[in-house]
Amino acid sequence: MAERMSDTRWKALFETEPDALLVVAGDGALREVNPAGLLLFEAERPAEVVGRTLSEFLTPSHREGFRSYVKRVRGGHKGSLEVEMAGLKGGARTVMVWAVPLDKKPGSGAFLLVLARDVTEQRELEADLRESRKMAAVGQLAASFAHDFNNLLNGLMGSLWLVATKLGADHPAAPLVATAGQAGRKAAEIVRQLLAIGRKSKGELYPVALQTIAEEVVRRLRRTLDPRIEVVLEADPDLGTVQSHPGLIRTILLNLCTNARDAMPQGGRLTVELRNVKREDIGECVRLTVSDTGVGMDAELSRRIFEPFFTTKEERRGVGLGLTVVQSLVNRLAGTITIESEPGRGSRFVIDVPRMVAKDAPVELSPAEPPAQAVPSGTGQAILVVDDEEILRVVARAALEQAGFAVLEAEDSASALEVFQRERERIAVVLLDVNMPGRTGDEFFQDLRGLDPNVSVIFCSGSISEKKGALLIRAGAKAFLHKPYSARQLTEAVRQVLQPQPER
């Protein structure tokens, strides 16, 4: 062995090889380790690892597979094996190994030369790419069916509202109608979550104080959770602000806290922590931690917990989107999210979001309400409802007529143009669907403005974001309703548009 290592060329190759080179004895003990190998083992000197078996550094679940691989190599097998290992300081790595016998006659006692290549970053990049493709597929799926599905929900929920108004609160069937309406709202929330996953734009972000939002969420949880669950909020003084939107932070918190609640069916402690931290990779951060004392998860479940539609809950208690939405929103904020969990010892979700450097005043969670003004009821003004779904026109007509408005209908832009030209003097507001066959809603809007630059249009859609809705308003629309909208939201939007504007 000493003669082999004294060869000058072999020695130079051994010392300069960028991958770890290991000489392993017949009993599995390490005999020689090159400089790259010392880095892999997180060792400073060969004496720290020489004499120890290579299997000691492998994770328990990979040791038997490695022993079987070595046995095959000693029998003449040529190939590689991917294993998980940890260095002396506990650093976990994914390593691809190739082994060949150093002796001419293979056997159980032959020395092996093992080349070990660290592929941790490569595997992480591959996992990120798979996740990115998966998220993109979910987003495309959501966008493709959101319009039609929200139209159906809008018709369903609007019809339930009409039934409820006919029955009255004292009717025996009223609770059933209310329950059906609640189910419809939950379905609408699932669609919104799917759309949130597929959106990569950060939207309009501004300084936000997390503590104000966390306090509001915790107050809500204390009112609504099982009293056996203790809810605790801990926050650093002078907590930093982050670039976000109150709605994003609230969604993140509520989803994590709902997950924690479901993990503690017998009660426990739910803790929300807000800390100022500094990380080497992203600098000053605000850390949001949500932990519970629930059932916990093993490593396999923890790895899969952010996958779309993956859930550990009973079939009726979740669809596996909450944590996927959380991860998507955290990514939009340029933050990171990690999970620490063990079976029987609860779970801990840690989110780090870059802290704002500039000391901008944080926005208030609930902006001051404008002075109360009298909102006029309908007095027979004509509303033109343009939507290709008949059930939505029926529901809108019923809601608007009950509120005191007259209603005209059109199923597409061509027929709507005819109605508008004929009844132009009567029409006070146009309720216009964004996605229609033929000319789209925003294209038809430009046609209407060509006929009447002051036309009042309320756009509605179930497949575009609130940000795009805001862009329509900037382009001249008076309001935007996200489907499914309630009868009250519709009538209030119309009334607000018709409300006299204060003189400037």
Among 67, 97, 118, the domain boundary falls at 118
Structure confidence by residue, pLDDT tens digits, 309-331: 666 665 445 555 678 778 878 88
pLDDT of residue 374: 37
On whether residue 377 sits in a domain, the answer given is no
pLDDT of residue 365: 37
Greater pLDDT, 361 or 78: 78
- Cβ-contact 285, 337 below 8 angstroms: no
What is the C-alpha to C-alpha distance for residues 469 and 484, in angstroms, rounded to an integer?
14
On whether residue 83 sits in a domain, the answer given is yes
Of all residues in the chain, the percent with pLDDT exceeding 70 is 82
Q: What is the tally of helices (H) and strands (E) in the chain? A: 15, 17
Neighbour-count burial of 394, counting CB atoms closer than 10 A to its CB (0-12 exposed, 13-18 middle, 19+ buried): middle
Task: Answer whether residue 372 shows pLDDT above 60.
Answer: no
Task: Answer whether residue 126 shows pLDDT above 90.
Answer: no
Task: Answer whether residue 195 shows pLDDT above 90.
Answer: no
On whether residue 360 sits in a domain, the answer given is no
On whether residue 367 sits in a domain, the answer given is no
Q: Select from 193, 140, 462 the least CA-distant residue to 319.
A: 193
Same domain, 248 and 297: yes
Same domain, 187 and 231: no
DSSP state, 203? -
Same domain, 261 and 323: yes
Same domain, 133 and 15: no
Among 334, 354, 374, the domain boundary falls at 354
Amino acid (one-letter) located at 446: Q
The distance in angstroms from the start CA to the end CA of the chain is 95
What is the C-alpha to C-alpha distance for residues 44 and 111, in angstroms, rounded to an integer?
24
On whether residue 366 sits in a domain, the answer given is no
Any idea what the CATH number is for the domain that residue 83 is in?
Answer: 3.30.450.20
Same domain, 282 and 324: yes
pLDDT of residue 375: 39
On whether residue 451 sits in a domain, the answer given is yes
Task: Answer whether residue 397 shows pLDDT above 50.
Answer: yes
Any idea what the CATH number is for the domain that residue 229 is in?
Answer: 3.30.565.10
Greater pLDDT, 291 or 248: 291
What is the C-alpha to C-alpha distance for residues 339 and 304, in angstroms, rounded to an integer?
11
Task: Answer whether residue 22 shows pLDDT above 90.
Answer: yes
- Phi and psi at 233, nearest 5°, equal -120, 125
Same domain, 464 and 386: yes
Range of the domain at 141: 124-198
pLDDT of residue 233: 94
Task: Answer whether residue 349 shows pLDDT above 70.
Answer: yes
On whether residue 288 sits in a domain, the answer given is yes
Averaged pLDDT of the chain: 82
pLDDT of residue 164: 79
Any idea what the CATH number is for the domain that residue 180 is in?
Answer: 1.10.287.130
Confidence label for 24 from pLDDT (cuts 50, 70 and 90):
very high
pLDDT-wise least confident of 7-11, 59-63, 191-195:
191-195
Highest mean pLDDT among 128-132, 146-150, 338-342: 338-342
Any idea what the CATH number is for the domain that residue 493 is in?
Answer: 3.40.50.2300
Number of alpha carbons in the 13 Å side-chain half-sphere of residue 311: 14
Exposure string (b/e) for 79-100, b if CB count within 10 Å is 16 or more? eebebebebeeeeebbbbbebe
Structure token digits, residue 258: 């709902």
Task: Answer whether residue 132 shows pLDDT above 70.
Answer: no
Among 165, 198, 231, the domain boundary falls at 198
What is the C-alpha to C-alpha distance for residues 263 and 297, in angstroms, rounded to an integer?
10
Same domain, 72 and 45: yes
pLDDT-wise least confident of 6-20, 199-213, 360-374:
360-374
Same domain, 168 and 223: no
Q: Select from 308, 351, 393 the least CA-distant residue to 131.
A: 308
Domains in the chain, number: 4
Strand partners, 309: none
Task: Answer whether residue 95 shows pLDDT above 80.
Answer: yes
Same domain, 39 and 69: yes
- Residues in CB range of 377: below 8 A, 6 or more apart: 403, 404, 495
Same domain, 216 and 335: yes
Neighbour-count burial of 241, counting CB atoms closer than 10 A to its CB (0-12 exposed, 13-18 middle, 19+ buried): buried
Structure confidence by residue, pLDDT tens digits, 166-190: 787 788 888 887 888 777 777 776 6
On whether residue 503 sits in a domain, the answer given is no
Same domain, 455 and 344: no
Same domain, 12 and 112: yes
User: Region 59-64: what's the mean pLDDT?
Assistant: 92
Structure confidence by residue, pLDDT tens digits, 409-440: 999 889 999 999 999 899 999 999 988 878 88
pLDDT of residue 176: 83
Confidence label for 497 from pLDDT (cuts 50, 70 and 90):
very high
pLDDT-wise least confident of 140-149, 427-436, 444-453:
140-149
User: Region 69-85: what's the mean pLDDT?
Assistant: 90
